[in-house]
Structure 1
């Protein structure tokens, strides 16, 4: 998706959507990726800065106000994990699994959780 397409999608987001924008240029390695997620999504202090902890936090989101939907926009996708590209599929799988979990979770928790990967 291009930056223009992402901007257009953001404009159509429902009013009760929680939108988080992250920047791939700030996520060239694991440490920086975990820091960017933590800062942009206001993860709790107990976030362990590893893959399982990232998935746990994305599966939970109880520290932010409940929303009708969640949209994660990752700009500069080509720059994400550029220093360790072999691990990018791990992140992709986590994002896929989180979206599926939110779509199929307990009825009281079902909410769309989508990720836009933007190549600016």
Structure 2
């Protein structure tokens, strides 16, 4: 199975809406993406517009969103975790890696 890495630089992502836009752009979501958590889950567990194989989302600087919009961060993290589980048996499984700054 091939693996495709998608790197999201979260240094400038300060809102849930901004994260939705960044994810939609990075993962080339279809035009029907509704920019809400349910639509995010639907897209992340589908990914049929991307090549088959594992897709790894590498999110750097997640602490920026966590600090600027704690509720938005929690919602996004919850959907990401659910989508990883929901897509596990598909031909396009999702893996998410959060990269926090080194202290």
TM-score where L is the length of structure 1: 0.75
Q: Which residue of 2 aligns with 1:60?
A: 46
Matched, 1:51 2:21: no
Structure 2 unaligned spans of 5+: none
Superimposed CA distance per residue, residues 77-102 of structure 1 (whole angstroms, 9 cap, x where no aligned partner): 10125332123221111111111112
Structure 1 segments of 4+ aligned residues over 4 angstroms from their partners: none
Question: For 1:3-22, what aligned pairs fall within 5 Å after superposition?
Answer: 16-22=2-8
Q: Which residue of 2 aligns with 1:90?
A: 75
- How far 1:19 sits from its partner (Å)? 1.0
Q: Distance in 2 between matches of 1:100 and 1:34?
A: 19
Q: Which has the larger radius of gyration?
A: 1
Matched, 1:42 2:28: yes
Structure 1 unaligned spans of 5+: 1-13
More helix per residue: 1
Equivalent residues of 2:47, 2:92 under 8 A apart? no
Q: Distance in 2 between matches of 1:96 and 1:58?
A: 10
Equivalent residues of 2:52, 2:92 under 8 A apart? no
- Which among 71, 74, 99 is matched to residue 118 of structure 1? 99
Q: Distance in 2 between matches of 1:112 and 1:47?
A: 19
